[in-house]
């Protein structure tokens, strides 16, 4: 059978692979290094996915020393302060976006540019904005490993059958079905009360109820007028309405415990990023069978294309050998089979389109189809805002959700202030 690639492309790929191997070998003394890797992938689905990376690193002769820290909200500050404080790990997961921009600017991250050029990352990483998030003054300091989007709702089909109503296909149907679920003793909406979860949910309402223009005006243009608009008021009202759909135990609940409520039929649905899919996978459930997924709450089929990227802090000891090991690891993370295996377990979309995804489930196929149309691809909040601004949004959303005495008007006024001062 003829190769799908022309002869010239094949030649370029082989040449790039040889150049990359030479680069990795010349970067330092070959040897087995212990690479401490920090990340916040501790749920069942996440652990299965991170195991793919660990196996690949161990098979390369280096040793993956696992440094998992549960919960992104806890892990991120620990990771950033360790690097800033001169106690770097060998590699770390962070969100693709602005999480580490201060550390990159301070010169604390290993420069991956030569490897990226030798392997042609810019030719295959899609959407190209992912690599932009890793680039500072023309140099590349991280490697995106997946595309994750928060813009999803996950629904248990059986819960709706028990309640005697059809599985909702959009947000209005979801709201209309909520009383029937309540009557059947099922919590309509599974929520975890961590600040990032409530804030992420608000971003989903921003698209579904306010439209793509509202989302772009706030997340791209940082427009205080859009933040003050009547469309944005609808988002605050939806968050207030969501309060009445949750159970009493939501405060402090981890996201995967909320997903487990959907998996077991204790709840009808959860608004959560597509990492939730990993949990359904580990529970042996199949998209389109036990559960359904609604991108953009069934209103707008969009993805906000953030996700995860790996950074390699500059080593303070054994620098040549560790840097060589870091480059080898970066190369492995974007390699074809690792990308397929990791993303199938993680529920995320691969950062490369030139791999075989025939094993992707219905929901991943929906995601891949959405990705084809650039109009449906939005920046994630991690790409749009600094960590500081995101923290301010999170504080606002979680206080508003927890405290019904805060009026929509007051909460929106604070939101406008944050957007007006965001950089
Ligand atoms: C990460 C995902 C992770 C999720 C929940 C997100 O910030 O991008 O990879 O699964 O947090 O832990």
Q: How far is the CA of 373 from the centre of ligand 1 (A)?
A: 24
Residue 366 CB contacts under 8 Å (≥ 6 apart), including other chains = 293, 295, 301
**Residues 320-356 pLDDT 10s:** 999 999 999 999 999 999 999 999 999 999 999 999 9
Instruction: Tell me, in angstroms, the distance from the centre of ligand 1 to residue 4's CA.
Output: 34
User: Which of 46, 53, 72 for mutating ligand 1's site (highest number of atoms within 8 Å of CB)?
Assistant: 72
Residue from 37, 39, 40, 70 whose mutation best tests the ligand 1 pocket (most atoms within 8 A of CB): 40
**According to the 3-state scheme, what is the secondary structure of 65-110?**
EEEECCCHHHHHHHHHHHHHCCCCCCEEEEECCCCCHHHHHCCCEC
pLDDT at position 19 is 53
Rounded Cα distance, 361 and 288, in Å: 9
Cα 70 to middle of ligand 1, angstroms: 10
Structure tokens at 350: 């691969």
Pocket of ligand 1 (CB under 6 A): 40, 46, 72, 95, 148, 255, 275, 307-308
User: What's the CA-to-centroid distance between 72 and ligand 1, angstroms?
Assistant: 7
Instruction: Identify any residues that bridge with 143 across adjacent strands, giving them in sequence order.
Output: 310
Dihedral angle, C-alpha 217, 218, 219, 222, nearest 10 °: 90
Dihedral sign of CA atoms 393, 128, 84, 310 in order? positive
Nearest CA, atom 4, ligand 1:
275
| 209 CA → ligand 1 middle, Å | 24
Helix (H) or strand (E) holding 267: strand 267-271
Point out the residues of the chain with pLDDT beneath 50. Answer: 1-16, 26-29
pLDDT for residue 21: 55
The pLDDT of residue 225 is: 98
Instruction: Report pLDDT for 61.
Output: 97
Q: Provide the pLDDT for residue 12.
A: 41
202: part of which helix (H) or strand (E)?
Answer: helix 195-210
Residue 348 and residue 307 in contact, taking contact as beta carbons nearer than 8 Å:
yes
Q: Strand pairing of 291-295 and 187-189?
A: unpaired
- The length of the chain, given as a count of residues: 423
What is the reported pLDDT for 24? 55
- Mutational pocket test of ligand 1: of 37, 50, 76, 148, the residue with most ligand atoms within 8 Å of the beta carbon: 148
- DSSP character for 154? E
The DSSP code sequence of 272-312 is --TTHHHHHHHTT--BTTTEEEEEGGGTS--EE-B-EEEE-
């Amino acid at each position: 059978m003829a190769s799908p690639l022309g002869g010239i492309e094949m030649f370029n790929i082989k040449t790039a692979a040889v150049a990359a191997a030479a680069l990795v070998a010349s970067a330092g003394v070959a040897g087995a290094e212990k690479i401490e890797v920090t990340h916040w992938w501790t749920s069942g689905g996440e652990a299965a996915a991170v195991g793919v990376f660990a196996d690949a690193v161990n098979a390369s002769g280096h040793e993956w020393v696992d440094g998992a820290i549960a919960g992104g909200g806890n892990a991120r500050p620990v990771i950033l302060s360790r690097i800033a404080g001169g106690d770097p790990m060998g590699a770390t997961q962070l969100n693709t976006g602005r999480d580490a921009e201060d550390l990159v600017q301070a010169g604390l991250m290993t420069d991956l540019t030569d490897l990226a050029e030798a392997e042609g990352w810019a030719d295959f990483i899609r959407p190209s904005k992912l690599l932009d998030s890793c680039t500072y003054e023309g140099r590349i300091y991280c490697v995106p490993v997946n595309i994750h989007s928060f813009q999803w709702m996950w629904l248990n089909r059986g819960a709706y059958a028990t309640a005697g109503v059809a599985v909702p296909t959009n947000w209005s149907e979801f709201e209309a079905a909520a009383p029937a679920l309540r009557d059947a003793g099922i919590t309509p909406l599974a929520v975890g009360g961590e600040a990032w979860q409530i804030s992420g949910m608000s971003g989903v309402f921003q698209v579904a109820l306010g439209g793509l223009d509202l989302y772009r005006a706030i997340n791209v243009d940082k427009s205080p007028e859009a933040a003050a608009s009547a469309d944005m008021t609808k988002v605050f009202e939806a968050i207030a309405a969501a309060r009445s759909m949750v159970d009493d135990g939501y405060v402090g609940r981890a996201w995967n415990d909320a997903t487990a409520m959907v998996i077991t039929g204790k709840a009808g649905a959860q608004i959560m990023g597509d990492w939730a899919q990993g949990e359904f996978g580990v529970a042996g459930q199949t998209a389109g069978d036990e559960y359904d997924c609604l991108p953009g709450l069934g209103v707008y089929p969009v993805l906000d294309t953030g996700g995860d990227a790996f950074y390699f802090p500059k080593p303070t000891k054994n620098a040549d050998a560790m840097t060589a090991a870091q480059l080898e690891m970066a190369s492995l993370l974007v390699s074809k089979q690792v990308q397929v295996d990791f993303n199938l377990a993680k529920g995320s979309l691969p950062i490369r389109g030139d791999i075989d995804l025939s094993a992707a489930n219905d929901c991943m196929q929906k995601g891949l189809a959405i990705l084809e149309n650039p109009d449906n691809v939005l920046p994630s909040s991690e790409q749009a805002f600094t960590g500081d601004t995101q923290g301010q949004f999170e504080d606002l959303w979680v206080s508003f959700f927890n405290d019904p005495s805060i009026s929509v008007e007051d909460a929106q006024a604070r939101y406008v202030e944050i957007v007006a001062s965001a950089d």
